[in-house]
A and B are shown apart, each in its own frame.
Chain A
Amino acid sequence: MADPAVELSGDVSWIAEAFPLPDGRFEHVSVYLVEAPAGSILIDSGSFYHRERLRRRITQATAGRGIGAMILSHSDYPHSGNVPDFRRLWGDFEIVASCADAAAQGLPYARRSRIGGSLDVLGRTFRFLDPPLADRSHTSWIYDEASRVMFAADGFGIYHAEGETGFTSRDYAAGISEEAIHDFHKDTIVWLRYVDPALLMDALRAMFDAHPVSWVAPIHGAPIAAEDLDDYLEKLERSVVAVSEGYTVH
């Protein structure tokens, strides 16, 4: 079977796709599939760059049923660009989105998720959390209560080498590389050059204290297993310090 989905917990799987960067590295642009009591939920839509592959792989992963609902971390093309196409393919399934003005984001039919709130989607409860590591205002992190997977949108990404697409933190013997963490966050979350690292890291650690995770599931990186999270957070902290100290106002 080609390109199998990577199982994280029994009913949450990762459909890893990657985008080639000019320097030879890759950036994941993925989706996750959650098997809920009343159907399959896709977390984000993936990019139109991978549309045909995603159609095929999601069809395969759902044994031909397709998806019954989609929860968007935010409406940014690499995350939401396949919404119209997938709704044509699998019917007008429910879209859950966090933006305050869904129509201006091109999603007039979306059900609103609210940061700090929770919603039942196809019989499963998701909490919507204020993401300390994000760029767009309306981004939310999505915490699946049943599996304790934290879907972390643009946070917790990495760049990876060819051949590592689909690797989770468990596939890296020495843990995920600090350079990969640093470079991704420096390029992608540009405001980190102004960050007070202690404030950010305190917010992140408080969030994981309040919402214990089995996995942190980024869209642009390798899923991080609970036992690897402390290692990742330490490397992230050093990365954030390096980004902020590396930028002086001049």
Chain B
Amino acid sequence: MSREIAQGIHWIQELGPARTEIGESLLRRGAPWFDRDRTVHVPQNAFLVVGNESLLFDTLSPLGSDQIIEELESILGDRPLDYLVVSHPDVPHAGNTARILRRYPEARLVAPREPATHELYHLEDSLRVGVGDYLDLGGPLIQFHEATFLDAALSVWMSEETTGTLFPVDWLGFPLLDGEGLSFMDEVVDPETPDDELVDRLYEFHARVMFWFQYADVEKMKAETDMVLMRLHPLIIAPSHGPVIRREPQRLIQLMKGVVERVHNTGRVGVL
């Protein structure tokens, strides 16, 4: 099952296993959006952009190996896949690259340009992209960006310019509860939800994945957050580990300042 989030952009989601360790952490600190009858999940998203040509952004994790092939076949039918973009060669994002290229041998593998360690990741035969590069899919227009807030160095962010959709990979991850799969942010949380509660959910993710916020200069991070908003001004945000955001994307980005501040003050909550 997939969902079209904007013209030609298909959202494929692997909900992932129940994360009991995260659930326990939420109960311990009394997170207002969680109770013990629910299960918590860290989703893994992939996005298929279809115009005259098609492009897949990330591959799901090894647990989603059959799923990604089925979804691609169902959306593409007998059309080819033209590009496979690996945001960064982290197993949950890129682990099905070889299988997808076996199924779609004509697809061009696309990888971040820097640093030049591609042979350590089986990315030596890739098209290298970085800041300012475009791919015209005939309809959709893909632009590549610096991965501003990231884990692995070999990373790239992407946008689709005709719809204003930004794909910020690990940034803006947001844990889901059972039943919240493949739902937009405004379907997961009421737009009236107070900022504190949204920050708390974002915190649970970033205090694991972006543990380094604890060592960051908070004011510099806030300035960079403003810069991302100004430079990329997304209308839709499609992160790799949370719901797609189609309403008030600026609000969620602004809330990340509070997330950085909180991780900085508390330290990490765990790993992912």
* Residues in chain A within 8 A of chain B (CB atoms): 19, 21-22, 27, 29, 47-49, 75-78, 81, 98-101, 103-106, 115, 130, 132, 134-138, 187-191, 194-196, 199-200, 203, 244, 249-250
Closest 4 CB pairs of A and B: A104-B61, A249-B223, A138-B271, A78-B120
Report the number of A-B residue pairs with Cβ-Cβ less than 8 Å.
121
Which B residues, 24 to 74, have Cβ-Cβ distances below 8 Å to chain A? Answer: 42, 44, 61-63
Contact check: which of B19, B120, B209, B227 meets A137 at CB < 8 Å? B209
Taking a contact as CB atoms under 8 Å apart, the answer to whether A47 and B271 are in contact is no
- Cβ of A136: which chain B residues have Cβ within 8 Å of it? 90, 151-152
Q: Mostly helix, strand, loop or mixed at chain A's interface?
A: loop
Contact check: which of A76, A104, A138, A194 meets B16 at CB < 8 Å? A104
A137-B151, A187-B153, A194-B224 given as contacts; is B272 within 8 A of A47 (CB)?
A: no
Taking the closest CB of chain B, its distance from the CB of A69, in whole angstroms, is 21
- Cβ of A48: which chain B residues have Cβ within 8 Å of it? 122
- Cβ of B209: which chain A residues have Cβ within 8 Å of it? 137
Taking a contact as CB atoms under 8 Å apart, the answer to whether A106 and B95 are in contact is yes
Taking a contact as CB atoms under 8 Å apart, the answer to whether B115 and A104 are in contact is no
Which B residues, 79 to 118, have Cβ-Cβ distances below 8 Å to chain A? Answer: 89-92, 95, 114-117
- Cβ of B115: which chain A residues have Cβ within 8 Å of it? 21, 187-188
In the complex, what distance in Å separates the CA atom of A199 from the CA atom of B119? 34
In the complex, what distance in Å separates the CA atom of A195 from the CA atom of B19? 30
Of the listed residues A106, A189, A250, the one surrounded by the most CB atoms of chain B closer than 10 A to its CB is A106
Q: Which one, B136-144, B194-202, B214-222, is touching chain A?
A: B214-222
Residue of A nearest to B211 (CB): A137
Taking the closest CB of chain A, its distance from the CB of B123, in whole angstroms, is 9
Which B residues, 118 to 147, have Cβ-Cβ distances below 8 Å to chain A? Answer: 119-122
A19-B117, A103-B62, A137-B272 given as contacts; is B89 within 8 A of A77 (CB)?
A: yes
Taking the closest CB of chain B, its distance from the CB of A187, in whole angstroms, is 5
- Cβ of B224: which chain A residues have Cβ within 8 Å of it? 194, 249
- Cβ of B19: which chain A residues have Cβ within 8 Å of it? 100-101
- Cβ of A189: which chain B residues have Cβ within 8 Å of it? 153
Taking a contact as CB atoms under 8 Å apart, the answer to whether A191 and B216 are in contact is yes
Of the listed residues A78, A135, A244, the one surrounded by the most CB atoms of chain B closer than 10 A to its CB is A135
In the complex, what distance in Å separates the CA atom of A75 from the CA atom of B95? 11
Taking a contact as CB atoms under 8 Å apart, the answer to whether B150 and A19 are in contact is no
Q: Mostly helix, strand, loop or mixed at chain B's interface?
A: loop
In the complex, what distance in Å separates the CA atom of A74 from the CA atom of B149? 20
In the complex, what distance in Å separates the CA atom of A77 from the CA atom of B94? 11
Contact check: which of B119, B122, B215 meets A196 at CB < 8 Å? B215
Taking a contact as CB atoms under 8 Å apart, the answer to whether A203 and B90 are in contact is no
Q: List 20 A-B contacts (CB under 8 A).
A: A47-B120, A49-B119, A75-B91, A76-B152, A78-B117, A78-B120, A78-B121, A100-B19, A103-B17, A106-B61, A106-B95, A135-B152, A135-B153, A136-B151, A136-B152, A188-B115, A190-B153, A196-B216, A199-B214, A199-B215
Taking a contact as CB atoms under 8 Å apart, the answer to whether A203 and B215 are in contact is yes
In the complex, what distance in Å separates the CA atom of A187 from the CA atom of B224? 19
Contact check: which of A78, A105, A196 meets B217 at CB < 8 Å? A196
Taking a contact as CB atoms under 8 Å apart, the answer to whether B217 and A101 are in contact is no
Taking a contact as CB atoms under 8 Å apart, the answer to whether B62 and A106 are in contact is yes
Taking a contact as CB atoms under 8 Å apart, the answer to whether A200 and B215 are in contact is yes
Of the listed residues B95, B115, B117, B272, the one surrounded by the most CB atoms of chain A closer than 10 A to its CB is B117
Q: A100-B271, A244-B217 are in contact. List 11 more A-B contacts (CB 8 A).
A: A99-B271, A101-B16, A105-B62, A105-B91, A137-B151, A137-B272, A187-B153, A191-B212, A196-B216, A199-B214, A249-B220
Taking a contact as CB atoms under 8 Å apart, the answer to whether B217 and A104 are in contact is no
Taking a contact as CB atoms under 8 Å apart, the answer to whether A194 and B216 are in contact is yes
Taking the closest CB of chain B, its distance from the CB of A137, in whole angstroms, is 5
Contact check: which of A49, A130, A250 meets B268 at CB < 8 Å? A130
Contact check: which of B21, B61, B152, B220 meets A194 at CB < 8 Å? B220
Residue of A nearest to B42 (CB): A101
In the complex, what distance in Å separates the CA atom of A135 from the CA atom of B89? 13
- Cβ of A132: which chain B residues have Cβ within 8 Å of it? 215
Residue of A nearest to B22 (CB): A100
Taking a contact as CB atoms under 8 Å apart, the answer to whether B153 and A115 are in contact is no
In the complex, what distance in Å separates the CA atom of A75 from the CA atom of B89? 11
A136-B152, A137-B211 given as contacts; is B120 within 8 A of A194 (CB)?
A: no
- Cβ of B215: which chain A residues have Cβ within 8 Å of it? 132, 191, 195-196, 199-200, 203
Residue of B nearest to A107 (CB): B91
Of the listed residues A77, A188, A244, A250, the one surrounded by the most CB atoms of chain B closer than 10 A to its CB is A77
- Cβ of A106: which chain B residues have Cβ within 8 Å of it? 61-62, 91, 95
- Cβ of B62: which chain A residues have Cβ within 8 Å of it? 103-106
Residue of B nearest to A187 (CB): B115
- Whether a CB of chain A sits under 8 angstroms from the CB of B233 is no
